Chains A and B, each alone.
Chain A
């Protein structure tokens, strides 16, 4: 393949020496060593061997357009938008896949390159059902942006005017519109590589290729966990969440309905992005005002039930430990796994159903709140629960599935009527003409009131663990968390490492058993000197690693409590959060959440006065008591991975 006239310096390395797709190309130099000179558009840069042209250009501040490329995913090189001219190469090269292994001279915007890119875009448009006005992704579509950037003013190769596919909306969470698909395979790489769920793949060959599910079954019938990560990475409107905006407006406009909304912590850190703000600015209290202006009767803080989850789930953990260690009950399943993330819950139901006894029976905060609104709140305010429309604002598409689970009706009604995503709410507020970033701030509504910092950090990976530890450590040792960790920041569980591990040694001096769980555990003597082991994982690919390790009897099988979040980064990277997403964006959102935590006066779930009050007034038999079991706990379904 090497051209005889080619500059000997630019001879390509054999395939076996190239950086493998899916690995950061910069991992290569350690093996080979050294840097190499690249000249891109006349600018010179020295880069480690194996760096791609795209990365080198980025270093120089030269923008090469991309479409199939995504910072979270392995390299595919299928769309050819990033073509560049490489001196000595006969044809144009894809900048995203071309590793620099010898001195190289690249031009990124010659006439040939521009024309080729324009052709690529024209070809993509010829197969794209471009109903931009009515598309959910209008103004946030990478294909639309590219067409504008490259000055597409007519359809050179025609335009797709009729649908070939039906819109597939069998799932409660994800809607697929394959007429808008440009076959970039970002969703495939997300589903198979990033999340390791394996629902989407390119099916067929040549011009018959389409992204499909196993045997092209409806999404609701396959092993989809509804995490929505594919939506976050789709460049066009081919994937989107199932939209409930109209139903909610209808409920708001109906004077007979009492419409309440609970808002989770992560959307506050993300919703600003739907208004064009830079990631990382929380709009918590502005959003409260905006929601009331939009017509919601009450605005509650999901953090309240996040705190409640900590008490319930923490008590469950203490009970499991007590029953296993003191009563020597062999049936106790440890480690206890968290159950807040509905994507993760469906993942374990499909892929590790034998470990369902390990999953905490505590409902997620959304569902706890749903059950309380239609019982406790309805009773207290004399409202007929059938007139309450309970909406929850979540960063999550799987929450839509969760609230439609048949078992989630312990109040006697559907506990949560609609789960809306951050993106949908952003649209609703814009429809209502509300300039969210500039409205005055206001507080959450009673009787659930404000929350604690522990509830807020549920949004980031490690947050549930940190919140649980703040309470469990104080319960058992009788010490203040602040004495053990500065500012009660349990830093080892923070950050974006895929899997985190932490051990805490209980000192020989233990405290008295707090009143709230006194009826369950007589004393802490059994915990003296014990080493409690914890782990945190985010993204189901990391969860899979932990589960495989537990199966093999490895280190994680000795853990006592493991937090798992279905999405990379935790809820702040949820499938309902604004698009785009990247490690930097998720880090910015996490910073917003942790700074909000630091600003709270009360930062531990068990000190939340509203939580203590609800155990006095309503859940009178205490955490994990009869009433809380009825309303706040649930059971799971072993689904298995085989599809009939």
Chain B
């Protein structure tokens, strides 16, 4: 049977709604999971979620636009967020930033073409005593040096390559 991308998204959301319930308060966990699984909350996803929770799509859009961890546009598999606030700045965030841009070939606010990385600024992540600090998805890295940046990226790339391979396998089996 042909399953379109929209059908699959709808089924996924239905499963999430089943798990989190139909109340308005289920919106945040559902959005977080959709963001995690799809790297974005697409306009179609917002409308399906709104329909299932009995709220208006524009309300869902309002929430998605409010939180910087939810996005309307596709983000990379790995979102690298470098802290830009004062402690990390004094601890040498600029060098880390340059290194990240060099290694990834993208600027802050951009996503790499292969969809692997998004590079973003973050405001304080509470690691002021261990700067410069950055986040890769939900993992925290502290006292980062330019050399480490290289390692972190390489590790992510290795996993990403693996996953991409598995994904292809899965589709053909």
Contact = CB atoms under 8 A, between A and B. Distances in A.
Contact of A204 (B47, B56, B66): B66
A198 B57 contact: yes
A597 B49 CA distance: 48
Contacts of A203: 61-62, 65
Interface residues of B, number: 16
B43 A201 contact: no
Contacts of A197: 56
Interface string A382-410: 00000000000000000000000000000
B65 A214 contact: no
Nearest to A199: B58
A222 B57 CA distance: 10
B56 A192 contact: yes
Contacts of B44: 642
Contacts of B66: 204-205
Given A203-B65, A205-B65, A205-B66, A213 B58 contact: yes
A203 B67 CA distance: 11
B47 A201 contact: no
B72 interface: yes
B65 A198 contact: no
A319 to B, nearest CB: 36
Range, interface on chain A? 10 to 19
Interface in B37-63: 43-44, 46-47, 51, 55-59, 61-62
Interface string B66-89: 110000100000000000000000
A212 B62 CA distance: 9
A200 B58 contact: yes
Interface string A177-217: 00000000000000010000111111111000000111100
Given A205-B65, A643-B43, A215 B72 contact: yes
A202 B60 CA distance: 11
Contacts of A222: 58
Contact of B43 (A192, A204, A214, A641): A214
With a 10 A CB-CB cut-off, give which of A192, A201, A213, A641 has the most chain B CB atoms. Answer: A201
B62 A202 contact: yes
B107 to A, nearest CB: 20
B47 A643 contact: yes
Given A214-B61, A215-B43, A201 B56 contact: yes
Contact of A215 (B51, B59, B61, B67): B61
A192 B47 contact: no
A202 B55 CA distance: 15
A642 B47 contact: yes
Contacts of A643: 43, 47, 57
Interface string B103-118: 0000000000000000
A198 B56 contact: yes
A200 B65 CA distance: 14
A146 B104 CA distance: 53
Contact of A198 (B43, B58, B67): B58
Interface string A597-631: 00000000000000000000000000000000000
A192 B61 CA distance: 13
Interface string A202-238: 1111000000111100000010000000000000000
A192 B62 CA distance: 12
A103 B44 CA distance: 51
Contact of A201 (B51, B59, B67, B72): B59
Nearest to A215: B43
Interface in B132-173: none
A212 B59 CA distance: 10
A607 B46 CA distance: 53
Contacts of B43: 214-215, 643
A642 B104 CA distance: 38
A317 to B, nearest CB: 32
A442 B160 CA distance: 81
B44 to A, nearest CB: 8
Contact of B58 (A201, A204, A205): A201
A297 to B, nearest CB: 44
Nearest to B59: A201
B4 to A, nearest CB: 14
Nearest to A196: B56
With a 10 A CB-CB cut-off, give which of B44, B55, B65 has the most chain A CB atoms. Answer: B65
A203 B59 CA distance: 9
A493 to B, nearest CB: 30
Contacts of B56: 192, 197-199, 201
B37 to A, nearest CB: 21
A209 to B, nearest CB: 9
A51 to B, nearest CB: 28
25 contacts: A192-B59, A197-B56, A198-B55, A198-B56, A198-B58, A199-B58, A201-B56, A202-B62, A203-B61, A203-B62, A203-B65, A204-B65, A204-B66, A205-B65, A205-B66, A205-B67, A212-B61, A213-B58, A214-B46, A214-B57, A214-B61, A641-B47, A642-B47, A643-B43, A643-B47
Interface of B: 43-44, 46-47, 51, 55-59, 61-62, 65-67, 72
Given A192-B59, A198-B56, 15 more contacts: A192-B56, A192-B58, A197-B56, A198-B59, A199-B56, A201-B58, A201-B59, A203-B65, A205-B65, A214-B46, A641-B51, A641-B57, A642-B47, A643-B47, A643-B57
List of 6 A-B pairs having minimum Cβ-Cβ separation, nearest first? A198-B56, A201-B62, A201-B58, A214-B58, A203-B65, A205-B66
